[in-house]
């Protein structure tokens, strides 16, 4: 367990998963599980594998607040913090790192296609526009070290977006953050909601059945990889018939059970049975 993985070892692991020179790769990573020698060894290894013609992309989303509890100090800036973890922070702080301007759902990238993917992804764009571009570029998606904690792929959120499901949330236009535009501080309200992604692992069996998904290790971290286009097409065909398929199975998940207007059946039973239980639990704990 004390073994730390070198850049060379991680390069070999990343290549074995099917990432090649010139690839555009969307990555979500739990760095601690990889157990690498240095803090940025994984990113360095990844950049080495994709090379000058390749691109590494990730989420660099921000904490947002619900109206009327907007926090004056929570202001999105392109070089400011992200709540998406250490890996996006490394990309943002990298000399060649770029970040899009969407106030709540920015993406960070390094490499040849970084500008193309992040272009015009600002307060007027939809949240998952960079995922559309990843699909158009025939990119790959890598999940490493966070398979259980943060399952699945962000293409599912893009499917929700194009099927119009992201706008069928009672939280629409209720959450947001401050940002600067032309030197002026403004309020941004999120119009399309991504929501809980804990159910996205339900698609794994479908990727596997179609032979789209590979798995392996990067350092000590379990890792999976899938083509963005293949994953997107698989998810779209399922969700066209069953829009609720991506919701998690936790009966107590307020986001999945009670905020989507395309899931009214569960919303009603949650309000009748689960909500009073939650409120009582809260009162009980407060005592």
- List residues near Zn ion by CB under 5 A: 196, 198, 248, 253, 256
Of 113 and 259, the one with the shorter C-beta distance to Zn ion is: 259
Taking each helix axis as running N to C, give the angle between helix 86-93 and helix 41-50, from 0 to 180 degrees, rounded to the nearest 10: 60
DSSP 148-214: TTS-S-THHHHHHHHTTGGG-BTTTTTEEEEEEETTEEEEEE--S-----TTGGGGHHHHHHTT-EE
Minimum CB–partner distance for residue 256 and Zn ion (Å): 3
Contact of 24 with 54, CB cutoff 8 Å: yes
Residue 27 or 253: the one with the smaller Cβ distance to Zn ion is: 253
Distance in Å, CB of 181 to Zn ion, minimum: 33
Cβ closest to Zn ion, residue 77 vs residue 252? 252
CB 255 → Zn ion: shortest distance, Å? 5
Nearer of residues 140 and 257 to Zn ion, judged by Cβ: 257
CB of 198 to Zn ion, least distance (A): 5
Tell the smallest beta-carbon distance from residue 4 to Zn ion (Å). 35
Q: Closer to Zn ion by CB, 6 or 150: give it.
A: 150
Q: What are phi and psi of 66, to 5 degrees?
A: -95, 135
Least Å from the CB of residue 257 to Zn ion: 7
Q: With respect to Zn ion, which residue has the nearer C-beta, 138 or 254?
A: 254
């Amino acid at each position: 367990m004390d073994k730390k993985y070198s850049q060379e070892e991680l390069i070999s692991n990343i290549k074995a998963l099917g990432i090649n020179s010139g690839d555009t790769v969307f990555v979500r990573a739990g760095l601690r599980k990889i157990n690498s020698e240095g803090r940025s060894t994984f990113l360095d290894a990844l950049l080495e594998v994709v090379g000058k013609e390749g691109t590494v992309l990730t989420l660099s989303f921000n904490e947002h607040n619900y109206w009327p509890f907007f926090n004056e100090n929570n202001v999105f800036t392109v070089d400011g913090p992200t709540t998406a973890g250490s890996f996006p922070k490394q990309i943002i702080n990298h000399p060649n790192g770029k970040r899009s301007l969407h106030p709540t759902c920015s993406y960070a990238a390094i490499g040849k296609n970084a500008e193309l993917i992040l272009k015009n992804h600002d307060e007027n764009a939809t949240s998952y526009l960079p995922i559309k571009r990843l699909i158009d570029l025939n990119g790959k998606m890598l999940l490493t070290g966070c398979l259980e904690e943060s399952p699945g792929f962000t293409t599912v959120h893009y499917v929700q977006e194009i099927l119009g499901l992201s706008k069928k949330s009672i939280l629409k236009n209720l959450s947001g953050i401050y940002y600067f535009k032309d030197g002026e501080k403004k309020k941004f309200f999120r119009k399309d909601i991504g929501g809980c992604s804990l159910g996205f692992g339900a698609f794994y069996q479908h990727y596997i059945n179609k032979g789209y998904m590979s798995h392996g290790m990067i350092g000590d971290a379990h890792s999976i990889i899938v083509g963005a286009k293949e994953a997107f097409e698989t998810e779209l065909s399922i969700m066209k018939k069953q829009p609720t398929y991506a919701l998690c199975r936790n009966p107590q998940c307020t986001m999945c059970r009670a905020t989507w207007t395309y899931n009214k059946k569960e919303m009603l039973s949650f309000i009748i049975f689960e909500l009073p239980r939650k409120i009582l639990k809260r009162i009980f704990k407060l005592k």
